[in-house]
Amino acid sequence: MELKDKTAFISDMDGVIYHGNHLLPGAVEFVEWLKKNDRKFLFLTNSSERSPRELKEKLSRLGINVEKENFYTSALATASFLKSQNYSASAYVIGETGLTNAMYEEGLSMNDVNPDYVVVGETRSYSFEKIEHAIRLVIKGARLIGTNPDLTGPTEKGITPATGALIAPIELATGSKAYFVGKPNPLIMRHALKTLSTRREDAVIIGDRMDTDIIAGIESEINTVLVMSGVTAPDDMKRFAYRPDHVFSGLDEFVKNALGN
């Protein structure tokens, strides 16, 4: 794999950099290489649970120090999208602080009576009561938004349900199809390129999912790198009609073979 001198890197986090609170092999070396070679980089995650500040603190605890400006989340992209659609929008949110904080920072308000939107992201406080309330609001006219379409996410304990799975009962009960803002939506990819001030021709996206990271890169015409350290296994690739540009077992192999470390 040949890299240009000015190649910028867009990297997923879950399944690429870490599983839960377990740092994956090659992650430290990868970030050290980025800093040493003065490369632009952005951690672009479909997870909406944590804010950039919280993600920075988490990586710091794991031994990697970067700035909060090096993170962009589906929560931020979702809040930005809603603000662009309706400057004074209100929403009923099922999600964690990363999502609610992103909404507040864009000047959007929380509303559990007659919101413009029902917004769903990853959460550990999922409940039947919240689903039931969201269904009633959507039936009354609120538009349904998901921070990302991921059905599952990798953790150190195995696979966990993600936004696509959590929002499915609301879709099925209301007959409404959610609009997802995170990868592979080109919106979040354009945000990433703008944040990096780089062109698609000069970027590489690294991810562990064929159905979000890789297809996002392909549809945005960005060079793609699939690592097998997260959700996708080698046999899974047979199910897809498209292929990544490069495949590695993990960041450790990518660093060794692509970056020359």
Domain boundaries along the sequence of the chain:
8-46+183-257, 75-180
User: Could you report the average pLDDT of every consecutive run of 10 residues in the chain (261 residues)?
Assistant: 79 92 94 94 94 95 95 96 93 96 95 97 94 98 96 77 96 98 94 93 94 94 94 90 95 86 56
Tokens of 253: 């192999």
Q: What is the pLDDT of residues 241-253, one digit of tens each?
A: 999 999 999 999 9
Catalytic-role residue among 12, 208, 213, 252:
12
Task: Please give the angle made by the CA atoms of 78, 122 and 24, to the nearest 5 degrees.
Answer: 105
Do 75-180 and 8-46+183-257 have the same topology in CATH?
yes
* Residue 150 designated active-site: no
Q: 3-class DSSP state for residue 2?
A: coil
Active-site pick, 14, 208, 211, 213: 14
Catalytic residue check, 14: yes
C-alpha pair distances (Å), 255 with each of 29, 32, 33, 45, 159 = 7, 10, 8, 20, 26
CATH number of 75-180: 3.40.50.1000
Which single residue is written with the structure tokens 């998901």?
146
Q: What angle do CA 252, 72, 171 make, to 5 degrees?
A: 105
The model's pLDDT over 8-37, given as tens digits with 9 standing for 90+, comes to 999 999 899 998 888 999 999 999 999 999
- Does 8-46+183-257 carry CATH code 3.40.50.1000? yes
